[in-house]
Each structure stands twice: as structure tokens, then as C-alpha cells.
């Protein structure tokens, strides 16, 4: 499928959210992204710009084999392909259709070699000690069963390998936190809970770098966070 290796257990992954395939055209995708950006307030745009500037410093230090979790439309993966730093990137997502779309677009734009693997992060289709680095743009904010995912990421990292992920937090007992509880994702949305989970599965040198924050505006295209809640834009670091 568009050069995507599909390594999914459909009994486990078929209930996961999938992209609407009718959106996979340049025109429709451009319209959708413009509509999404229209809902972002200036405060959030500024905070996200600071967040990305900080993340670029980390990307420039990546080496070896680098996995991107929940690649989606490829915002993070494109950053990996644009850098001149020498590493081999692997795109992953539970939805093979969006991964195929993104892989095709990236191959049209960039010369850097990469592979794409459709796999569920809760049952990650890689052997132990595969990756030197794992990264993501808000992947943990969108995958239920946080502890299960973290245990899988720990398993596939090499000893000394690093998890460096862009992530966002909300305040405990906020409306966003209470909504996240309904989807079994609340521990990923509060800093102290996520730090506890990372330590619990075995990670060391765990820390959250929070370069910016902003109050989230009403956005019907995003279920979380809830409008009016303060969102903290973080970079999570942890080592195996």
C-alpha cells in the first residue's frame, strides 16, 4: 500500500480512529488545514512557534534510527526529513491510509530515505532494541492506554536510547482533564501523571521542558483541549 509496510493485528487495531479517505487530495487537505488554523488564536500560534523552535534543537541532535509515533499528516516527520543531520527516519501510524498519503507527499518533496510502517503503538511491531530515538507530535495526547504505549516504546528503544516527544499538558481537574478521563487518556494530559508512568515502565532521566503555554480557543475540529483551558506545550525527555 503506497510503499507502507502494514503490520497490524486487525482484531486489536480496527476500532482505532481512522482518517476519512475522501480528504486525501491536495485541494481538500489544504482547505481542511486552513480551516483548522483559522480557529487557532494568536496566543496559541505564538506559543506553538516557540515550541517548534525548541524542538528543532533536539532534532538536530538525533542519530541512528529514529521512529516517529502517530505520524498522521507528517508535521513532525517532515521536520525529520528536512534536517541535514544523518539518521534514518521511520514513520509509523495505526492508520495505513493516512500513512500512505503522507509517505507519498514526503517522497515527492525530499530525498532523504525512510520507510513507513502501519502499526499500533500499543502493540508496536518492532523487535526489542531497535531505535536510537523515538519522537512524536502529540502522539501520546491521542492514544488511549498511556502506560501500555510507554512500555512498548521502552521495549523497542536501545539501551541509552532516548524518547524526545512534543506533548501538551493541561491542569489537573480542568475541563480538559475531566473529558480526557472519559477516553482513558487523562494520565497523558497531566504532567505529574505522565512523569510517574514514564518512571514506572523503567525510563530514567525523565523531565518535561515547557517552553510556552496558551489559553485554547474554541475549535470544533479538536475535541481536546476544551476552550478556555490553559495548555502547556512541552517536550518530554526520557532515556532507557
Reported as a single tens digit per residue, the pLDDT across 110-156 is: 999 999 999 999 999 999 999 999 999 999 988 888 999 999 999 99
Q: What percent of the chain has pLDDT over 90?
A: 82
Report the C-alpha gap between 74 and 161 in whole angstroms: 23
CATH code of the region 4-10+42-239: 3.40.50.150
Q: Positive or negative CA dihedral for 114, 36, 30, 57?
A: negative
Task: Give the pLDDT confidence score for residue 90 in this predicted structure.
Answer: 98
Task: Give the pLDDT confidence score for residue 204 in this predicted structure.
Answer: 98
Task: Give the pLDDT confidence score for residue 121 in this predicted structure.
Answer: 93
Whether the predicted pLDDT of 62 surpasses 70: yes
**Cis ω on the peptide bond leading into residue 225 (within 30° of 0)?**
yes
Q: How many CA atoms lie within 13 A of 109 on its CB side?
A: 14
pTM of the model: 0.93
* Beta sheet of 87-93, edge-to-edge order: 4-6, 115-118, 87-93, 64-69, 131-136, 157-169, 230-239, 204-215
Reported as a single tens digit per residue, the pLDDT across 180-219 is: 999 888 889 999 999 999 999 999 999 999 999 999 999 9
Reported as a single tens digit per residue, the pLDDT across 216-238 is: 999 999 889 999 999 999 999 99
Reported as a single tens digit per residue, the pLDDT across 87-123 is: 999 999 999 999 999 999 999 999 999 999 999 999 9
Amino acid at each position: 500500500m503506497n510503499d507502507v509496510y502494514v503490520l497490524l493485528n486487525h482484531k486489536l487495531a480496527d476500532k482505532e480512529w481512522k482518517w476519512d479517505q475522501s480528504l486525501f487530495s491536495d485541494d481538500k487537505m489544504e482547505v481542511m488545514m486552513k480551516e483548522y488554523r483559522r480557529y487557532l488564536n494568536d496566543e496559541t500560534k505564538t506559543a506553538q512557534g516557540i515550541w517548534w523552535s525548541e524542538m528543532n534543537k533536539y532534532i538536530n541532535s538525533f542519530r541512528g534510527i529514529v521512529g516517529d509515533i502517530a505520524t498522521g499528516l507528517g508535521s513532525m516527520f517532515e521536520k525529520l526529513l528536512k534536517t541535514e543531520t544523518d539518521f534514518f527516519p521511520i514513520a509509523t501510524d495505526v492508520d495505513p491510509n493516512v500513512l500512505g498519503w503522507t509517505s507519498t507527499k514526503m517522497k515527492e518533496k525530499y530525498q532523504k530515505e525512510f520507510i513507513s510502517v502501519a502499526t499500533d503503538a500499543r502493540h508496536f511491531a518492532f523487535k526489542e532494541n531497535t531505535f536510537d530515538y523515538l519522537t512524536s507530535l502529540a502522539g501520546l495526547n491521542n492514544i488511549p492506554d498511556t502506560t501500555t504505549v510507554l512500555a512498548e516504546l521502552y521495549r523497542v528503544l536501545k539501551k541509552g536510547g532516548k524518547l524526545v516527544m512534543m506533548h501538551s499538558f493541561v491542569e489537573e481537574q480542568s475541563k480538559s482533564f475531566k473529558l480526557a478521563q472519559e477516553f482513558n487518556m487523562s494520565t497523558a494530559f497531566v504532567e505529574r501523571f505522565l512523569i510517574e508512568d514514564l518512571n514506572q515502565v523503567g525510563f530514567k532521566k525523565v523531565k518535561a521542558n515547557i517552553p510556552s503555554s496558551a489559553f485554547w480557543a474554541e475549535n470544533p475540529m479538536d475535541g481536546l483541549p476544551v476552550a478556555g483551558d490553559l495548555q502547556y506545550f512541552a517536550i518530554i525527555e526520557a532515556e532507557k
